[in-house]
């Protein structure tokens, strides 16, 4: 059967339109694949940076607590002051002109006092288990980066909430430790200063009170 030129042209145009439609779909698929790839690379980089940031925060939080905890600062300030006084006492003893036996005995007392000071500690630890970063699941990483950022923000807020909860418990524990630490600091300052003043006054037979030495024990952990 013969076809008119009009019919042939119509079939041709339909075929060309179908080819164009397929090409357009292919182009859309290629574009979609490229966008997915770009999103995935962007999101992987952002997730890695977020994970590193959270890990750094976990690594540093205990150091920040130790540095800023009031009872720990009281303890360290008292120890530093006492050690400086003991340094002065040691020099006074060494230049006292007393017998070497007497000097050695008093220097031994100084060393005992130093060891007891070094052994006196108070440790506060955050014991809350924070697993949001380690167990983070961001699903399809080819999605728009704004979606992934939203998920990271949500997880960061959850971590912040747990950290604050742990710090509240820590502060309550710190208040329990404050009384004993303050008493320890006052007693230590009084005893060491009294000992140093005796030496400055030429009373070289005195020594740091043995009962005081016996009380310079390590403080238990407050968790």
Contacts of 14-19 with C-beta under 8 Å, sequence gap 24+, read none
pLDDT at residue 89 greater than cutoff 60: yes
Span 128-141, average pLDDT: 72
Per-residue model confidence as pLDDT tens digits over 204-221: 655 555 544 555 544 444
User: Considering only 108-117, 133-142, 163-172, 209-218, which range has the smallest mean pLDDT?
Assistant: 209-218
Residues comprising the chain, all counted: 223
- Other CB atoms within 10 A of residue 106 CB: 24
Span 162-182, average pLDDT: 77
pTM for this prediction: 0.49
pLDDT band at 25 (very low <50, low <70, confident <90, very high): low
Provide the β-strand partners of residue 124. Answer: 222
Six-digit token string for 159? 């971590």
């Amino acid at each position: 059967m013969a076809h008119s030129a009009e019919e042939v042209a119509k079939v041709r145009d339909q075929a060309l339109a179908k080819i164009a439609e397929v090409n357009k779909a292919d182009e859309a698929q290629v574009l979609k694949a490229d966008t997915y790839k770009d999103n995935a690379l962007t999101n992987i980089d952002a997730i890695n940076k977020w994970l590193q940031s959270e890990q750094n925060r976990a690594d540093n939080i205990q150091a920040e607590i130790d540095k800023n905890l009031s009872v720990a600062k009281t303890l360290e300030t008292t120890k530093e002051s006492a050690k400086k006084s003991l340094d002065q006492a040691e020099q006074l003893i060494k230049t006292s002109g007393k017998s070497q036996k007497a000097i050695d005995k008093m220097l031994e007392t100084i060393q005992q006092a130093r060891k007891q000071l070094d052994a006196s500690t108070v440790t506060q630890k955050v014991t809350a288990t924070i697993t949001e970063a380690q167990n983070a699941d961001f699903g399809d990483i080819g999605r728009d980066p704004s979606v992934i950022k939203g998920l990271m923000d949500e997880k960061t807020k959850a971590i912040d909430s747990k950290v604050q909860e742990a710090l509240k418990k820590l502060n309550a524990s710190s208040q329990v430790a404050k009384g004993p630490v303050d008493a320890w600091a006052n007693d230590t300052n009084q005893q060491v200063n009294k000992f140093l003043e005796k030496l400055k006054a030429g009373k070289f037979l005195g020594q740091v009170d043995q009962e005081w030495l016996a009380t310079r024990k390590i403080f238990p952990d407050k968790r």
